Amino acid sequence: MHAQPHTAPALPATGLIAHRTYTIRRSTMLAGLGWLALMTACSGTAGWYILSKDDLAARLIARETTRQYAYEDRIAALRADIDRYASRALLDQDGVESRVDELATRQAELESRQSLVTALTDVLQSNGILPASKLPLRPRVAKPEEPIRASGVTSFAPLLPGKPTPAPETPALRGADARAAGGWQSGEAAPAQPPAKRVEASLEKLDKAMARTSNSQIDLLREMDRKVAAAQRKLRSALAETGLDTDRMSVPTPVDGGVGGPLVPVKLDASAGPFEATLTALQPRLTALLRLRGLVEQMPLARPMAGDHDYTSNFGYRTDPFTRGLAMHTGVDFRAAAGSPVLATAPGKVVAAEYNGGYGNMVEVEHSNGLSTRYAHMSAISVSVGQIVKTGSVLGKVGSTGRSTGPHLHYETRINEEPVDPTRFLNAGSKLAGLL
């Protein structure tokens, strides 16, 4: 039941203010209390949420801060790795460039050695001591401005002309390595080799090529030394037949052609390496050999007529064909048909070309070191006084003029106008026939 509102009796209007009294229902009061409780609960929940949210935010902020620090540490470590890799790449590049500089120096040294080897080879081949042969090939010469790559770092510094560097490698077709290794596999490509390893392999290949060239040069020098030593022994053995002291004889200066220039001797240090040691030992032998060859070329070692001709009379004491008494024969007589050509046995100058008593028609040729030769009993003379002749020049024809019993050649060899046995020189020439 609802309480009926109590109404006060009306008062007369006497100018006083009237007061009203209100009565609140119980349902309204309960609703107000419920709403108040709800608001209180909401306020508490909001307060709790705000307080817990601040703690969660603090934890989130702390976690994100820790993660940020971890990322910063990782970034710092990566930067350190990048710096280290860059430093390593620069060191690798410096190592490659140092290696290239070293190879360039070695190549310049090899080319200098090659010029010496070529010059010696030309000398020995021109003198018939060394047969014609191919010289060692030179290492590859790189083009200037060729970049060197190592560990991803490229240097475009200009290179010296002739500086050896690895040739650029063309990329292989996919699967080529697999086919070479044992079968082709579709879609699979061999892993690319790092640039540093490719450069190192190329430099190693060039280094080995230079080492082979250097060894070939040394081997060729040693072969020269052996051949020069053998030729020197043969020359000395053959010249010993003449009985002359070749060490005291002089080699005339050649007059053919035009050569010359200031003397700039090559200085070598025998302790520098096997090449220098071999060349140092070869030089004096080669000088002695060339000197002996110069002497041989000026000495009357050739035969005065083409072909083999028998001796009809030797040098020394014999029975004179006219008086039948003991007499001195100052030369040797060769049996030959009349008209056969008479040849100079060494280069020289004609100092006599005339009829000379018992010699008949005679030609005398003056050679170096006091040596001279005479050719007598000729039927005709083909040279004149003052003429320069070479070995093998025709001097005249065999005859029987002068004190002669028939066609033959009387041949003499003289040292300082004193006659010596010509067979000593002819025997030496026969020994040297295979060497000259």
Query: Any idea which of 57-61, 394-398, 424-428 has the lowest mean pLDDT?
Result: 57-61
Structure-token pair, residue 406: 């028939």
**414's torsion region: left (phi>0), alpha (psi -120 to 50) or beta?**
beta
Fold of 311-431: Glucose Permease (Domain IIA) (2.70.70)
Query: Any idea which of 1-5, 149-153, 307-311, 369-373 has the lowest mean pLDDT?
Result: 149-153
User: What local confidence, expressed as pLDDT, does residue 18 receive?
Assistant: 52
Average pLDDT, integer, range 160-173: 43
Does the global pTM surpass 0.85? no
pLDDT in tens, 171-207: 444 444 444 444 444 455 556 666 667 777 777 888 8
Average pLDDT, integer, range 210-228: 86
CA distance 370 to 16: 183
User: What local confidence, expressed as pLDDT, does residue 89 receive?
Assistant: 65
Contact present, 225 and 422 (Cβ < 8 Å): no
CA distance 286 to 116: 13
| Residues above pLDDT 90, as percent of the chain | 23
Cα 345 from chain centroid (whole Å): 45
Q: Name which residue leads in pLDDT, 399 or 99.
A: 399
Q: Quick one: pLDDT band at residue 155, thresholds 50, 70, 90?
A: very low
Q: Quick one: pLDDT band at residue 379, thresholds 50, 70, 90?
A: very high
Q: Where in the chain is the domain with CATH 2.70.70.10?
A: 311-431
Q: Quick one: pLDDT band at residue 97, thresholds 50, 70, 90?
A: confident
Contact present, 159 and 141 (Cβ < 8 Å): no
Contact present, 107 and 139 (Cβ < 8 Å): yes
Residues comprising the chain, all counted: 436
Q: What is the CA radius of gyration of the chain?
A: 57
Q: Is 266 exposed, middle or buried (0-12, 13-18, 19+ CB in 10 A)?
A: exposed
Kind of pairing, strands 361-366 and 348-355?
A: antiparallel
Residue 157 has pLDDT above 50, yes or no: no
Q: Which of 198, 196, 197, 179 is nearest to 188 (CA)?
A: 179
Contact present, 424 and 351 (Cβ < 8 Å): no
CA distance 403 to 357: 8
CA dihedral defined by 233, 236, 239, 245, rounded to 10 degrees?
180
